[in-house]
Amino acid sequence: MNRKNREKLFASKLRNFIVEYISVFSIVALNGTFLVLILVNVINKGFEKTTIALAGALYLFVSCIISTALIYFVKGRVYHNKIKVFCDIANEVAKGDFSVRVPTYFVKPKSEMDFLAVNFNKMLVEISSLENMRNDFVADVSHEIKTPLSVVQGYADLLQNKDLSDEKRAEYTYRLSLAIDSLTSLVTNILKLNKIENQGITQKERFSLDEQLRCCILSFEEKIEEKKLELSVDLEEVFINSDKALLEIVWNNLISNAVKYTQNGGTISVKLKTENGKSVVTVSDTGCGMSKQVQEHCFEKFYQGDCSHSQEGNGLGLALVKQVVNLLDGKIQVNSIENKGTEFIVII
């Protein structure tokens, strides 16, 4: 808020204080002075009691009307100035400035306008936070899309060389295809994440959770065999009421990460059991693991730990997992040790 608006609000507060307190004491003092004068006149001149009573009543009536009118007039001006400040602030927000705030000069809110100022500032803080998140998201998406696009552009330019050997042409075509797949995966995950964040509605059905996990594991069978990974599966028979399609996103991402970040010949494990009426799924691996710092941020959008920089990915997988688990009122936790492995525990 600019200096002019702050001065207006301070002046309004000062006038309000004068009207509500000082004017009241002034009226009481005037009334007391008037009564003293009447008593002096009675003693000196012997006015009749009726005349004195009528004069006193008339004076009190007139003084009450004047003081009431004065109070309402000045308070009206005070509220007018306060509302003007709110209008000025709202106008600044409409122009895109979310850093403005309504100035407050109280320790605890007292009047309705004070509470309005507090809540108005809270609203501005939330709007400012959302705007920062939106800007960060746009910047991150732009950065992530730029990388595969640069790769696509590079290999597309190389393929235009007519002197390329068939072997090089095949290699560049393969790498171009990988870059396009990466870009497609990024866009798909962004759309999924946006849908999950905005839908807020789940379509629950009763299904076999252990069977769903088996199907998800089988979809990675080729990659598991390619890396010669040892697979450990221990699944209890469990039926749950939940959103089947959303949970499939969770298992696919967790198993995919376990396969991706585990070195050749390593071990991945998928377990399912029930505890206290809840289903507990554990996906663990003997991969590169994560540091404490990476664990603290691993569920953030576009965040990639040191281990992921050398692997394909876009930092949206675990963000999707977290959003789905939250939407289904579940819990997820991660335990990891660098160069030893990672364990994700999902409670539904």
| Per-residue model confidence (pLDDT) at position 328 | 87
For residues 33 and 151, state if they share a domain. Answer: no
For residues 209 and 324, state if they share a domain. Answer: yes
For residues 100 and 145, state if they share a domain. Answer: no
For residues 341 and 211, state if they share a domain. Answer: yes
Give the number of other CB atoms < 10 A from CB of residue 125.
12
Q: Is the pTM of this model over 0.75?
A: no
pLDDT along the chain (348 residues), means of 10: 54 58 57 58 55 59 65 64 78 80 67 77 80 68 70 84 86 84 74 68 86 90 90 94 87 90 93 93 92 84 57 67 87 91 93
Query: Given 199, 229, 260, which residue is the final one in a domain?
Result: 199
For residues 214 and 335, state if they share a domain. Answer: yes
| Per-residue model confidence (pLDDT) at position 324 | 85
Cα distance between residue 150 and residue 171, in whole Å? 17
For residues 52 and 89, state if they share a domain. Answer: yes
Domain count, the chain: 3
For residues 229 and 315, state if they share a domain. Answer: yes
- One-letter amino acid at 330 equals G
| Per-residue model confidence (pLDDT) at position 32 | 58
Residue 123 lies in a domain: no
Instruction: Find all residues with CB under 8 Å of 291, minimum gap 6, and list them.
Output: 305, 306, 338
The secondary structure of 137-193 as a DSSP string is HHHHHHHHHHHHHHHHHHHHHHHT-TT--HHHHHHHHHHHHHHHHHHHHHHHHHHHH
Give the number of other CB atoms < 10 A from CB of residue 307.
19
| Per-residue model confidence (pLDDT) at position 71 | 63
| Per-residue model confidence (pLDDT) at position 121 | 83
For residues 222 and 327, state if they share a domain. Answer: yes
Residue 122 lies in a domain: no
Residue 162 belongs to domain spanning: 130-199
